[in-house]
Amino acid sequence: MFARIYSGSVLGVDAYRIEVEVDCSSGINQICVVGLPDAAIKEAQERVRSAIKSCAFLMPPGKKWIVNLAPADIRKEGPALDLPIAVGILASTGLLCRDHLQDFWIVGELSLDGSIRPVSGVLPIALAAKNANIKNIIVPDGNAEEAGLVQGLNVYPVSHLKQVCLILADPENGAPLANCAKEIFLKSQQAMQFDLDFADVKGQDNPKRALEIAAAGRHNILMVGPPGSGKSMLAQRLPSIMPPLSFNEAVELTKLYSVAGLLSSKKTLVAQRPFRSPHHSASSSGLVGGGSIPKPGEISLGHLGILFLDELTEFPRSHLECLRQPMETGNVTISRAQHTLTYPASFLLVGACNPCPCGHKADPIKYCVCSPAQASRYWARLSGPLLDRIDLQIQVSRLNEKELSRSERGQTSETMRLRIMRAVEAQQNRFEPGQLTFNAHLTNRQMQKYCQIDDRSRTTLSQAVANLGLSARAYDRIIRIARTIADLQGEDNIQTDHIAEAVQYRRLAVHSTL
């Protein structure tokens, strides 16, 4: 007897349909799985056999089940196909009603006692089911809210194989999850609080201003300063001034984190912009993504959020060079013999480092013990093309005694975020609804339309190019920064003072300290 069950599997950040075909014939009571399964799927036969036995189903003796996972030319991985394999075996044996099998996609991992465990990648599978015009999906209880983010899909949460059998016999035996994802998202946005606030940072007005510009226009930023000057402290407070996620952005992020297996039963929706801070000892695969079957790396997990690289010059140069393509395109492509996958990686890069190996170059208090050759080798880890892609490059100086002893609090994150939201709204109004492009990502054609400068500003910019030896890329980035400064000040046109301030942020702090 033959049965076909529909499920899904993840490849990259998207999912595709899996047809679990089961044929029952005479044999030696064996379950054989074909179709490029990995070790976890091959072991499913033992889990499935025990789970079916725990549900008091009597497996007929002298039978053999051939399970084919189509398409057979793509390798499948993980235990998410346990449940559809078990359902297919029961249906092919005649122990399960087959009238409604074609109306459902089924996903889940089986325990030996028949209970169902949550799996990763359920959200992209649910999205694929909707795109395939499927109305119903059966998922583990722990993944129900995640799958419920997909509008127009009936999500049936289950905790045991017996529940699945009842639902497939008659869908009225199950209760679809009430879809209230947007309401949950809005409540989580309203309840969101940040423990870290810019008001806690003493002094450092210039770095705060630069971080405000970075958050408003999505400009990458590098902070250079001696140890203890507050670089990490400033970077850790950047999420408190970032604009909130939209619902569609939250679904996109949740999909990515679901693929990476980073969602928990308490966190089924990513409602806050991510802040990723990998250690400088991270591998290239951990940073960019990879593996025999590629998984997202830190730069993809920082998508739509912040990627903070503390001690930037301690990262291997080869790792940092891998950031150049994602910084330009907003995605990263990982090629393997069997697959070429593209992951989203539109992040705001925040780098922090010391001016030299000892950290005290140009420090007014402590004497630097590094030789010029040591300093050159230190900065050689950052290539010119990489530095050219970092819009804002600022010096974070040591606080003096007066600034340290100051008792009054500085400008709050809430005040800064309100200005940033006005600047984001100004950028949004330039484009059609749903077509928001931040100033850092403006194309040349968009710059010609929205970033016009007068003759005086052009002269100021030309002098900066001549004096600082700026590249064509740096020239464009200065104009983009000036556009963000104008938006923060509520100006429709770029003024000379906007250009002058933008030029100051392109004076690489490193060069002034070597």
The answer to whether residue 470 sits within a structural domain is no
Rounded CA gap, 80 and 120, in Å?
8
430: left (phi over 0), alpha (psi -120 to 50) or beta: alpha
Distance of CA 56 to the CA centre of its chain: 44
Q: Residue-wise over 388-409: b if at least 16 C-beta within 10 A, else e?
A: bbbbbbbbbbbbeeeeeeeeee
Between the alpha carbon of residue 126 and those of residues 8, 76, 144, 146, 154, the distances in Å are 8, 17, 10, 9, 10
Residue 463 lies in a domain: no
pLDDT at residue 513, rounded to an integer: 41
DSSP state of 409: -
pLDDT tens digit string along 75-100?
A: 888 899 999 999 999 999 988 888 88
Helix, strand, coil tally for the chain in percent (to 5) = 45, 20, 40
Average pLDDT over residues 494-506: 91
Q: Which two three-digit tokens encode residue 406?
A: 């100051």
**DSSP designation for 205:** H
- Sorted by sequence, the CB contacts under 8 Å of residue 215 that are 6+ apart come out as 238, 241, 242, 243, 348, 416, 420
Residue that wins the pLDDT comparison between 77 and 221: 221
Print the SS3 string covering 447-511: HHHHCCCCHHHHHHHHHHHHHHCCCHHHHHHHHHHHHHHHHHCCCCCCCHHHHHHHHHCCCCHHH
Q: Does residue 491 belong to any structural domain of this protein?
A: no
Q: Residue 414 has what pLDDT? A: 92
pLDDT of residue 471: 85
Phi, psi of 304, deg, nearest 5 = 65, 10
Would 447 be classed as within a structural domain? Answer: no
* Phi, psi dihedrals of residue 365, rounded to the nearest 5°: -110, -50
Q: Is residue 11 domain-shared with residue 45, that is, in the same domain? A: yes
CATH code of the domain containing 102: 3.30.230.10
pLDDT tier at 435, thresholds 50, 70, 90: low
pLDDT at 191 over 80: no
Give residue 278's pLDDT band: very low, low, confident or very high (50, 70, 90): very high
Beta strands at 221-224 and 392-395: parallel, antiparallel or unpaired = parallel
User: Residues near 504 by Cβ (< 8 Å), separated by ≥ 6?
Assistant: none
The answer to whether the CB of 485 falls within 8 A of the CB of 420 is no
Confidence (pLDDT) at 506: 81
Residues 231 and 85 in one domain: no
What are the C-alpha distances in Å from 469 to residues 341, 396, 436? 38, 23, 32
Give pLDDT, residue 348. 95
| In contact, 69 and 101? CB cutoff 8 Å | no
Contact 350, 275 (CB under 8 A): no
The answer on 232 and 148 residing in a single domain is no
Domain boundary among 124, 158, 179: 179
Predicted local confidence at residue 509, as pLDDT:
42
Kindly state the average pLDDT of the residues 64-76.
Answer: 91
Q: Are residues 174 and 206 in the same domain?
A: no
Q: What are phi and psi of 241, to 5 degrees?
A: -115, 5
Tell me what the mean pLDDT of segment 307-329 comes to: 92
- Whether residues 121 and 207 share a domain: the answer is no
Domain count, the chain: 2
The pLDDT tens digits for 289-307 are 887 677 899 999 999 999 9
Can you give the pLDDT at residue 456? 92
Whether 448 is covered by a domain: the verdict is no
Tokens 């593996």 label which residue? 291
Distance (Å, rounded) from C-alpha 415 to C-alpha 419? Answer: 7
136, 154 contact by CB (below 8 A): yes
Last residue of a domain, one of 160, 179, 198: 179
pLDDT score recorded for residue 32: 92
Residue 462 lies in a domain: no
Order the strands of the 136-140 sheet from edge to edge: 30-34, 63-70, 14-26, 2-11, 104-106, 136-140, 154-158
C-alpha span between 191 and 375 (Å, rounded): 47
Percent of the chain at pLDDT exceeding 70: 97
511 pLDDT exceeds 50? no
Give yes or no: residues 59 and 162 share one domain. yes
Statement to judge: residues 171 and 25 lie in one domain = yes
Give the pLDDT band of residue 195 (cuts 50, 70, 90). confident
Give the residue-averaged pLDDT of 3-24: 93
Instruction: Using pLDDT thresholds of 50, 70 and 90, give the confidence band for residue 106.
Output: very high
Residue 364 lies in a domain: yes
> 55 and 35 in one domain?
yes
- What is the token pair recorded at 89? 């075996």
Q: Which pLDDT value is given to residue 479?
A: 94
- Whether residues 174 and 288 fall in one domain: no
Q: Which residue has the higher pLDDT, 336 or 478?
A: 478
Structure letter (DSSP) for residue 21:
E
Mean pLDDT of all residues in the chain?
89
The CATH number for 340's domain is: 3.40.50.300
When pLDDT is averaged across residues 36-41 and rounded to a whole number, the result is 89
For residues 263 and 251, the answer to whether their CB atoms sit within 8 Å is no
Residue 469 lies in a domain: no
- pLDDT at position 243 is 92
In this model, does residue 510 exceed pLDDT 50?
Answer: no
Q: Which helix (DSSP H) or strand (DSSP E) does residue 334 occupy?
A: strand 331-335
Structure tokens at 103: 């109306």
Q: Is the pLDDT of residue 466 over 90?
A: no
* Residue 418 confidence class, pLDDT cut points 50, 70, 90: very high
Co-location of 127 and 217 in the same domain:
no
Q: What number of residues does the chain have?
A: 514
- Residue 197 and residue 169 in one domain: no
- On the question of a cis peptide bond just before residue 71, with omega within 30 degrees of 0, the verdict is yes
426 has pLDDT over 50: yes
Domain range holding 174?
2-179
The reported pLDDT for the residue numbered 514 is: 39
Shared domain for 251 and 366, answered yes or no, is yes
Average pLDDT over residues 266-270: 78
103 φ, ψ to 5°?
Answer: -95, -5
- Which residue, among 113, 124, 42, has the nearest Cα to 82 in the 3D structure? 42
Given 151, 179, 207, the domain boundary residue is 179
